[in-house]
Amino acid sequence: MSTLEVKDLHVSVVDDDDEAKGQEILKGVNLKMSTGEIHAIMGPNGTGKSTLSQAIMGNSAYKVTQGDVLLDGKSILDMPVDERARAGLFLAMQYPAEIAGVTNIEFMRAAINARRDENDQIPVMEFMKKLDDKQAILDMTDEMSERYLNEGFSGGEKKRNEILQLLMIEPKFAILDEIDSGLDIDALKVVSRGVNSMRGDNFGSLIITHYQRLLNYIIPDQVHVMMDGRIVKSGGPDLAKKLEDEGYAGLRDDLGLDVKLTDEI
C-alpha cells in the first residue's frame, strides 16, 4: 500500500515580474489518502482545486511557501516533475498540451520506457497488445493513437486520451483535474469506465470536479469540499449529493465561513 499526504500546504502563483508579489491560493491544505481509495475534491470556481493538483505534480508556475507533500512518507517537493511521475504520480490535465510531430503511440512508449531500465524496454508486441486492450475499454481506435499528440483533438478526445495514458502508465496515484468538463453523458460514462477499470489495491485517485454527476459513475470513498484555499469539510459520497441539492453557498453558511464565492451575485 502507498500513501499520498498533503500537509498544511500553502501555495502561491509565481509572478514573473516580482516573486514576492505572488498571490497565495492554497492556505493550508491537509489531505491523506492511500492506494485502494478514491477521493473527490469539490468546490466552487477559484478555490484552488487545480492549484492543488498542479502543486502536487510540481508545475513550476506554482510555488509552495509552506507545508509538504509526501509520497509513502517521503517529501517530493524537491523532485522535478518527471521524477514525481516516475515515483508514481499522474495528473490528467484539464488542458493537455498539443505536440505535432510526435505520435501518441511513440509518446506513450517513451513514457512507459522512462519507468523501465534501459536494457528492459517494453517489447513492441507487448506494448501494442496492452494498447489494444486499453483502447477497447475507452472505445478508442488505432487511428487516434497514430495521430500526433493531442493535435487537432476535440475536447472530449483529449480527455479520453488522458485516461488512455493513465491506463497505459498505471501510476500509484492519479489526480484527475476536471476530467468531466466538456464531456457529454456518453463520453462521461466511457471515461468513468476507464477510471473504474483501474480501481484496486494498488491504485488511488484524487478526482477534482465541480459537479456531482461524475461521482454517480465513479463512486468515491471520501469527498472533500474546498473553499478559499482550504478543505472545509470532508465526508462520504452523501456529501456530494448534499452539495448538489444545497449548493456551495448553503454549505458555507452552515459552516459559518466568511468566504466570498467567485460566482456569487
Partner 1 sequence: MRPSIKDDFMDDTIAFSKNHEEPLWFQKMREEALSHASELELPVFEKINYRGWRLDRPKDPFATATRDNNFDVPDTDNLLIQNGDQTLTNKLDPKLSEQGVIFTDIWTAMKEYPKLVQKYLLSTSIKPTDNRLVALNLALMNGGAFLYVPKNVKVDSSIQSIYLQDNNQKKDYVHHVLVVADQGSEVTYLENFLSQGDSADNIANIVVEVVACANSRVHFSALDQFGEHVSTYINRHGYVGDNARLDWAIGLMNDNQVVGDFGTDLRGEGSHSEAKVVAITTGEQVSGIDTKITNYGQHSIGHILQHGVILQSSSLTFNGVGHIVKGARGSDAQQESRVLMLSRTARGDANPILLIDENDVTAGHAASVGRVNEEQMYYLMSRGIDKPTAQRLVIRGFLSSVITEIPEKEVRVRLTNMIERKLINGQQK
- At its nearest, how many Å lie between partner 1 and the CB of residue 79? 11
Which is nearer to partner 1, 198 or 251 (by Cβ)?
A: 198
Q: Which is nearer to partner 1, 181 or 216 (CB)?
A: 181
Closer of 149 and 239 to partner 1 (Cβ): 149
Residue with smaller CB distance to partner 1, 82 or 146? 82
What's the closest the beta carbon of residue 92 comes to partner 1, in angstroms?
A: 10
Count the neighbouring beta carbons within 10 Å of the beta carbon of residue 40: 24
The residue among 82, 129, 136, 132 whose CA lies nearest residue 110 is 82
Quote the CA–CA distance of 176 and 167 in Å, as a whole number.
13
Compute the distance between CA of residue 55 and CA of residue 150 in angstroms, rounded to an integer: 23
Neighbours of 18 (CB within 10 A): 8
Task: List residues binding partner 1 (CB under 8 A).
Answer: 57-60, 80-82, 85-86, 90-91, 93, 96-102, 107, 110-111, 114-115, 148-149, 165, 169
CB of residue 262 to partner 1, shortest distance in Å: 24
Q: How far is the CB of 125 from partner 1 (least distance, A)?
A: 22
Residue with cell 492556505: 27
**Between 112 and 223, CB nearer to partner 1:** 112
Is the CB of 35 or the CB of 161 nearer to partner 1?
Answer: 161
Find all residues with CB under 8 Å of 35, minimum gap 6, and list them. Answer: 1, 2, 3, 172, 173, 201, 202, 203, 204
How far, in Å, are 15, 64, 143, 174, 265 from residue 61 at the CA level?
A: 8, 10, 34, 20, 30
Minimum separation from the CB atom of position 102 to partner 1 (A)? 5
**What minimum distance in Å lies between the beta carbon of 152 and partner 1?**
14
**40: nearest Cα among 232, 212, 207:** 207
